[in-house]
């Protein structure tokens, strides 16, 4: 599996949004195609349990391009409260990113003006072909999921951890489920 830009990357915004209902960025119109962790997990489970996928390397991509502005609107909709988008200068944004990401990644983000270069559309077929449905959108994603109305943006839920890949079969899995099943990304890192 070769997952694209994870929708869970938006979770790095949670502290700013939780405490001030604001997201500060230098690039509010930056574009990504975030892939939902359930899509990654479900493709992984199918690939692990079905020998027809042996040796295949699937790019698992999101539903399509979405701007930071649109992601913030989706989060605000899930919260049921406004979230302000504040454009900051590049130096302020660099300093902010350096508290969360390694320097070379920060420089790449700034070089690409916050956008993740899209892959050709013909590569975005793993989710529909393997799962028989379109990829989930950012609005369906982890940053917009409401655990309860009382503790939005403060709650971290943990799904039950399966003991074997077979325990994942037929379930909607989350990133923790992938890690529990021992599924690794193309880089060899645990996908969590």
What are the pLDDT digits (tens) for 102-129?
A: 999 999 999 999 998 877 777 778 899 9
Q: Residue 171 has which token pair?
A: 């379930």
Alpha carbons 27 and 89: distance in angstroms, whole number? 9
The predicted pLDDT at position 71 comes to: 93
pLDDT in tens, 77-97: 888 899 999 999 999 999 999
Q: Which domains does the chain have, with CATH numbers?
A: 2-181 (3.40.50.720)
The predicted pLDDT at position 88 comes to: 97
The predicted pLDDT at position 143 comes to: 58
**Section 119-144 average pLDDT:** 81
CB neighbours of residue 103 within 10 Å? 10
Beta-strand pair 22-25/2-3: unpaired
The predicted pLDDT at position 186 comes to: 37
Percent of the chain residues past pLDDT 70, beyond the cut: 73
The predicted pLDDT at position 14 comes to: 87
Under 8 Å between Cβ of 24 and 92: yes
pLDDT in tens, 152-163: 444 333 334 444
**Entry pTM:** 0.70
pLDDT in tens, 14-39: 889 989 999 999 999 999 999 999 99
Under 8 Å between Cβ of 4 and 59: yes
Mean pLDDT of the chain: 77
The predicted pLDDT at position 144 comes to: 58
3-state secondary structure the chain: CEECCEHHHHHHHHHHHHHHCEEEECCCCCEECCECHHHHHHHHHHHHHCHHHCCCCCEECCCCCEEHHHHHHHHHHHHCCCCEEEECCHHHHHHHHHCCCCHHHHHHHHHCCCCCCCCCHHHCCHHHHHHCCCCCCHHHCHHHCCCCCCCCCCCCCCCCCCCCHHHHCCCCCCHHHHHHHCCECCCCCECC
């Amino acid at each position: 599996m070769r997952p694209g830009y994870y929708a869970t990357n938006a979770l790095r915004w949670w502290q700013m949004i939780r405490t001030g209902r604001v997201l500060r960025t230098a690039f509010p119109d930056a574009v990504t195609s975030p892939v939902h962790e359930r899509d990654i997990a479900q493709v992984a489970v199918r690939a692990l349990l079905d020998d027809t996928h042996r040796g295949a390397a699937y790019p698992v991509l999101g539903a399509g391009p979405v701007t930071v502005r649109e992601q913030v609107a989706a989060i605000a909709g899930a919260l049921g409260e406004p979230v302000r988008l504040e454009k900051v200068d590049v130096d302020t944004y660099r300093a902010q990113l350096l508290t969360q990401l390694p320097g070379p990644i920060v420089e790449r983000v700034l070089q690409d003006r916050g956008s993740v270069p899209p892959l050709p559309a013909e590569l975005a077929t793993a989710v529909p072909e393997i799962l028989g449905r379109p990829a989930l959108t950012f609005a369906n994603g982890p940053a917009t999921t409401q655990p309860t109305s009382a503790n939005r943006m403060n709650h971290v839920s943990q799904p039950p951890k399966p003991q074997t890949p077979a325990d994942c079969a037929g379930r909607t899995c989350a990133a923790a489920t992938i890690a529990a099943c021992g599924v690794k990304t193309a880089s060899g890192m645990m996908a969590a």
